């Protein structure tokens, strides 16, 4: 009876794991990078490297408020993001139909800082959140994949229940390739089982309100960057029709001080607008539970209208789950722990995909479906990381004043990913499919190891020796991933 159950669970684990794994590798890779989306945006605006964090001045905020009012009079749904330790700049942003773009301002005097247009780290968030496919169908796919991950986790536990302790103690990277990949897959799955189960469960719950609005629990968009909506005090299209003069805006600095007296010191992260009012909104990094607590003021004279807090326990539970998933509240060590866990999860699922190919290669190597499976596996396990690196390279190689360069960066990402898919297909349907893995892994390693000199050559060297900033961190992380790719290329990837 037990053996029959394990056989059935093995079949379920294998097929659900493979089909869902193709999506989950993308989701986990994008989510791991999205943990540092703000820092990646900073890296992709090298003009900011010469600016040091400084406190926000009242004059700068008041000036930015007037500039935001001008944008509103032109019909833009502009909102303001205040400086944070992760992003010490003052920004005016608006939604262009897909991404949030805007201008960077000096928090001391409120004057603009000329920076290149970039898609920034938001691409990775969109990739994680909806596979860059849109808020409904993309969320539907990630929701199904999250449920598939829970199924794979449960079936995997049943399969390996008798040997859990042994599997925890064994990892043989220099054994046979099948044994090495199996050890890595099982060890990563067991050690990071709580993390993956938690991320799958919270991800499924977060997406549920989009797919089933009747079970909505309030705020479920991108933390700190969702498109402003009226119910959360954001500006809608009613604030100003295009070409129509907006009403005079009272100074924002006194409103900020009053809001901090209600919400807490240094807790306000967003300034949002709607007709006749201004909302000082609590930052997602200010508390464990992601909420949309805000204090609303009259746009005309700055008098406080209302203080809106999370309404009930149902919404609070939803905020806690989103806090666990997005960890916007966390300090740097915790976010690095999530990042490493996410990468290990991606490697674990990639290992499962490769084990699937190893198992079926002897009998089905010439089968069309098997070759298609290998093509897709190469595209998500080596092609996706290569596309991510190409995105960073494009940011530094394109002219800084190139029109619509942010969209071109994103287009480069998908073009390289499509080319990696085409290359994988050519190799998988040829007589030498193993070369597809080796070639893409080699290219990835080459680009990752040379990102550091690219960074040096394409930004100001001022302050290069002063501290371990975001630029050096991104470069060193890419370098370490490149070394890992070299190791995989030499030891494990030749299936």
Q: How far is 222 from 31, CA to CA, in rounded Å?
A: 12
Cα 76 to Cα 157, 255, 338: the distances in Å are 52, 22, 36
Residue 212 pLDDT exceeds 70: no
As beta bridge partners, residue 113 has: 104
Q: Give the residue-averaged pLDDT of 26-39.
A: 93
The band of 145, judged by pLDDT with boundaries at 50, 70 and 90, is: confident
pLDDT digits (tens, 9 = 90+) for 437-465: 889 999 999 999 999 999 989 887 665 65
Residue 71 pLDDT exceeds 80: yes
Q: What is the pTM of this model?
A: 0.84
Which residues have a Cβ under 8 Å from the Cβ of 481 and sit 6 or more positions away?
A: 385, 448
Q: Give the residue-averaged pLDDT of 175-179.
A: 63
pLDDT of residue 404: 86
The band of 142, judged by pLDDT with boundaries at 50, 70 and 90, is: confident
Compute the half-sphere exposure of residue 185: CA atoms within 13 Å on the CB side of its CA.
24
Question: Between residues 249 and 1, which one has the greater pLDDT?
Answer: 249
Secondary structure tally for the chain: helices H, strands E:
17, 8
Contact 313, 320 (CB under 8 A): no
Compute the half-sphere exposure of residue 49: CA atoms within 13 Å on the CB side of its CA.
25
Question: Between residues 399 and 52, which one has the greater pLDDT?
Answer: 399
The helix/strand/coil state of 369 is helix
The band of 230, judged by pLDDT with boundaries at 50, 70 and 90, is: very low
For the chain, give the percent of residues with pLDDT over 90. Answer: 35
Question: Between residues 51 and 30, which one has the greater pLDDT?
Answer: 30
Query: What stretch of H or E contains 452?
Result: helix 451-457
Residue 201 pLDDT exceeds 90: no
The overall average pLDDT reported for the chain is 81
Question: Between residues 206 and 285, which one has the greater pLDDT?
Answer: 285
Q: What is the dihedral of CA 381, 387, 391, 397, to 10 degrees?
A: 130
Question: Between residues 356 and 143, which one has the greater pLDDT?
Answer: 356
Query: What stretch of H or E contains 259?
Result: helix 252-263
Contact 93, 120 (CB under 8 A): no
As beta bridge partners, residue 93 has: 79, 102
Q: What is the DSSP letter of 437?
A: H
Contact 235, 274 (CB under 8 A): yes
Q: Where are the alpha helices (DSSP H) in 327-383?
A: 332-364, 368-378
Identify the CA nearest to 374 among candidates 442, 434, 441: 434
Residue 93 pLDDT exceeds 50: yes
Query: What stretch of H or E contains 61?
Result: helix 58-73
Joined tokens for residue 39: 């820092």
Question: Between residues 58 and 364, which one has the greater pLDDT?
Answer: 58
Q: How far is 424 from 430, CA to CA, in rounded Å?
A: 10
Identify the CA nearest to 256 among candidates 281, 227, 285: 281
Residue 24 pLDDT exceeds 50: yes
Q: How far is 385 from 393, CA to CA, in rounded Å?
A: 13
Q: Give the residue-averaged pLDDT of 403-414.
A: 93
Q: Give the residue-averaged pLDDT of 387-414.
A: 94
pLDDT of residue 39: 93
Q: How far is 6 from 421, CA to CA, in rounded Å?
A: 35
The band of 233, judged by pLDDT with boundaries at 50, 70 and 90, is: very low
Q: How far is 393 from 398, CA to CA, in rounded Å?
A: 9
pLDDT of residue 167: 56
Beta-sheet pairing, 294-298 with 304-308: antiparallel
Identify the CA nearest to 296 among candidates 309, 313, 280, 282: 280
* Alpha-carbon 466 to chain mean position: 28
Contact 268, 252 (CB under 8 A): no
Cα 411 to Cα 20, 415, 435, 458, 462: the distances in Å are 26, 6, 27, 21, 31
Q: Give the residue-averaged pLDDT of 61-86.
A: 87
pLDDT digits (tens, 9 = 90+) for 344-367: 888 888 888 888 888 888 787 778
pLDDT of residue 172: 61
The band of 240, judged by pLDDT with boundaries at 50, 70 and 90, is: very low
Question: Between residues 154 and 84, which one has the greater pLDDT?
Answer: 84
Joined tokens for residue 149: 């991950």
Residue 188 pLDDT exceeds 80: no
Give first-to-last CA distance, the chain, whole Å: 35
pLDDT digits (tens, 9 = 90+) for 312-350: 555 677 778 888 888 888 889 999 999 999 998 888 888
Identify the CA nearest to 395 among candidates 132, 119, 135: 119
């Amino acid at each position: 009876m037990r053996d029959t159950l394990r056989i059935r669970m093995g079949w379920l684990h294998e097929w659900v794991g493979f089909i869902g794994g193709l999506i989950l590798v993308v989701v986990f890779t994008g989510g791991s990078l999205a943990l540092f989306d703000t820092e990646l945006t900073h890296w992709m605006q090298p003009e900011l490297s010469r600016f040091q964090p400084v406190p926000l001045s009242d004059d700068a905020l008041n000036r930015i408020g007037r500039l935001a009012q001008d944008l509103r009079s032109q019909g833009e749904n502009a909102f303001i993001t205040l400086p944070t330790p992760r992003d010490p700049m003052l920004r005016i942003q608006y939604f262009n139909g897909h991404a949030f773009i805007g201008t960077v301002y000096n928090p001391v005097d409120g004057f603009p800082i000329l920076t290149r247009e970039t898609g920034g780290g938001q691409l990775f968030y969109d990739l994680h959140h909806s596979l860059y496919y849109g808020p409904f169908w993309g969320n539907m796919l990630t929701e199904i994949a999250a449920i598939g991950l829970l199924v794979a986790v449960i079936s995997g536990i049943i399969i390996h229940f008798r040997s859990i302790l042994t599997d925890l103690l064994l990892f043989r990277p220099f054994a046979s390739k099948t044994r090495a990949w199996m050890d890595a897959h099982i060890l990563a799955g067991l050690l990071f089982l709580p993390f993956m189960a938690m991320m799958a469960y919270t991800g499924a719950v977060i997406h549920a309100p989009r797919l089933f609005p009747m079970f909505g629990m309030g705020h479920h968009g991108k933390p700190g960057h969702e498109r402003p909506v009226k119910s959360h005090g954001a500006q809608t299209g009613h604030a100003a029709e295009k070409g129509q003069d907006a009403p005079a805006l009272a100074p924002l600095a006194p409103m900020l001080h009053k809001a901090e007296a209600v919400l807490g010191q240094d807790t306000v992260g967003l300034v949002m607008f709607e007709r006749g009012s201004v909302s000082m909104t609590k930052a997602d990094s200010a508390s464990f539970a992601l909420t949309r607590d805000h204090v609303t003021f009259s746009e005309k004279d700055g008098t406080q209208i209302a203080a809106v807090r999370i309404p009930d326990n149902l919404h609070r539970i939803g905020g806690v789950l989103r806090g666990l998933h997005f960890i916007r509240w966390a300090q740097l060590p915790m976010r690095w722990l999530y990042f490493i866990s996410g990468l290990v999860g991606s490697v674990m699922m990639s290992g499962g995909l490769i084990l699937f190919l190893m198992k079926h290669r002897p009998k089905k190597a010439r089968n069309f479906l098997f070759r298609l499976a290998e093509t897709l596996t190469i595209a998500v396990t080596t092609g996706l990381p290569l596309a991510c690196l190409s995105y960073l390279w494009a940011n530094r190689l394109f002219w800084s004043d190139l029109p619509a360069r942010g969209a071109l960066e994103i287009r480069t990402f998908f073009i390289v990913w499509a080319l990696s898919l085409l290359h994988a297909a050519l190799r998988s349907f040829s007589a030498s499919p193993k070369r597809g893995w080796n070639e893409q892994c080699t290219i990835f390693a080459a680009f990752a190891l040379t990102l550091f000199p690219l960074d040096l050559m394409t930004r100001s060297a001022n302050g290069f020796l002063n501290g371990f900033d975001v630029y050096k961190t991104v470069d060193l992380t890419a370098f370490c991933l490149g070394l890992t790719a070299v190791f995989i290329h030499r030891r494990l990837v030749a299936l």
